[in-house]
Amino acid sequence: MREHKCKALIPDSDPDTLIALQRTFENGSVDTTITWDNGKARNLIRSMQFDVMLIGDPPEISAENTVRNFRVHGASGPCLILRTIAQEMTAERLQRLGVVAVLPKRDPGKIFEEVQGSCGLKTAS
């Protein structure tokens, strides 16, 4: 029987984040699809199903608007927002959009743990 692989979409323009997360996830139970821009992410959302999305903090629009836009295009799984700088975000509005956590971008281990929890995968003991 094949092990379930969690499918994660990571749209972010920060190459360091994308590389670190892809390396962290590649040996785990997470199949990672990365993209540099939100337009390509929307196209992927229309054509594929993802278990979780990890959304970076694009400078030109808010993460909340990005999540809302992805929802319009068919994204249905939980979202994690990756922040460069710790910022307060309105928790209630984000929860209604399906955001389960706001995490620091530079902590791939913590992000991986949250993705495993969002996908219902068991963590190693």
25, exposed or middle or buried, with CB in 10 Å at 0-12, 13-18, 19+? Answer: buried
Both tokens assigned to 44:
């992927």
pLDDT of residue 102: 86
DSSP β-ladder status, 6-11 and 30-35: parallel
Neighbours of 8 (CB within 10 A): 25
Confidence of residue 42 (pLDDT cuts 50, 70, 90): very high
Confidence of residue 1 (pLDDT cuts 50, 70, 90): very low
| E strands, 1-125, in order | 6-11, 30-35, 52-55, 79-83, 99-104
Ordered by where they begin, the domains of the chain are 6-119 (3.40.50.2300)
Query: Does 52 score more than 90 pLDDT?
Result: yes
pLDDT mean over 35-62: 86
pTM listed for this prediction: 0.83
Query: Does 104 score more than 60 pLDDT?
Result: yes
pLDDT of residue 125: 45
| Half-sphere exposure of residue 76: CA atoms within 13 angstroms, side-chain side | 5
